[in-house]
Amino acid sequence: MGVTADSHGKSGSRSSGSEKAEPTGGAFVVAGALASHPLAAAFAAEVRRVHHRYAVEVVSGYRLCPHIGEPHASFGRFCVMLDRVPDLEAAVAEVAAGVADGMLVHLVYPLVDLEPTHFERFCNELHAEVARRLPDPPVHATFHPRLEGDALSPARMVGLLRRAPDPFVQFVPEGLHKGGTVFADLATLDLESLLKGPRDYATRTFERLKSGGLDVLLGWLADIRADRDRSYAPYLQALEASRIPREPDAPTAPAPRG
């Protein structure tokens, strides 16, 4: 499993969440193949900051969940998975650790560049494996910055609202589905269960956003994405450079005789 890090990206302790704009409680984990990179903890802290913007400014700010409480209350077990290709066993380990502590789990993949359908397939395989191993498997929901969606119906709008800054999957243990005080409830209850719930709330949400709020919301998503690209850039450059093998020095031509 990965190592925990504090709110400033220092490894070895749980997140302090001392500032109001930061998540409080839970565990902040850096995991994956590049978790030992010197910049991993600092990069992971930027990932969490950007995703907290999505939670507060979009999901909470636009009242996407009828059960929302305090969005700062907890991120649960927030895992920044520094893998270029999702690793099933590593993901199962993090989900199991979070569920054992009774926490929701976020697995965020800032280095993964899969199409939405391929990432969703991985998440479904992960859920199936978690369900096979755990006696009370959590429910899950998948998010991706390039999910398809539009404003033609409440169901089709879901894809727009799930355009998170990075691909991620969240797992919600039994008993946390109904609380509405943590980030998973903001997304899971609304984006997954809302359409199965009272039609009046789903319709009101759809009509409220379609009447003009949706364009503003999409503007915030674009702003968060731009923030993501700017803040990640130096880390992505350094991580990319670290995996490029050094070219061997060119052979030196012998000095001419005479």
Q: SS3 for 179?
A: coil
Q: pTM for the whole thing? A: 0.77
Residue 77's φ and ψ, nearest 5 degrees, are -95, 100
- The Cα-based distances of 243 to 96, 240, 246 in angstroms read 30, 6, 9
Which residues contact residue 44 at a Cβ distance below 8 angstroms, ignoring those fewer than 6 apart? 5, 9, 28, 30, 80, 82
- The pLDDT assigned to 160 comes to 80
Q: Give the residue from 214, 220, 75 showing the smallest Cα distance to 158.
A: 214
pLDDT (tens digit per residue) in 228-239: 999 999 999 999
Q: Give dist(CA 109, CA 106) in Å, integer.
A: 10
End-to-end CA distance of the chain: 64
Q: What's the rounded mean pLDDT across residues 64-82?
A: 67
pLDDT (tens digit per residue) in 77-104: 999 999 999 999 999 999 999 999 888 8
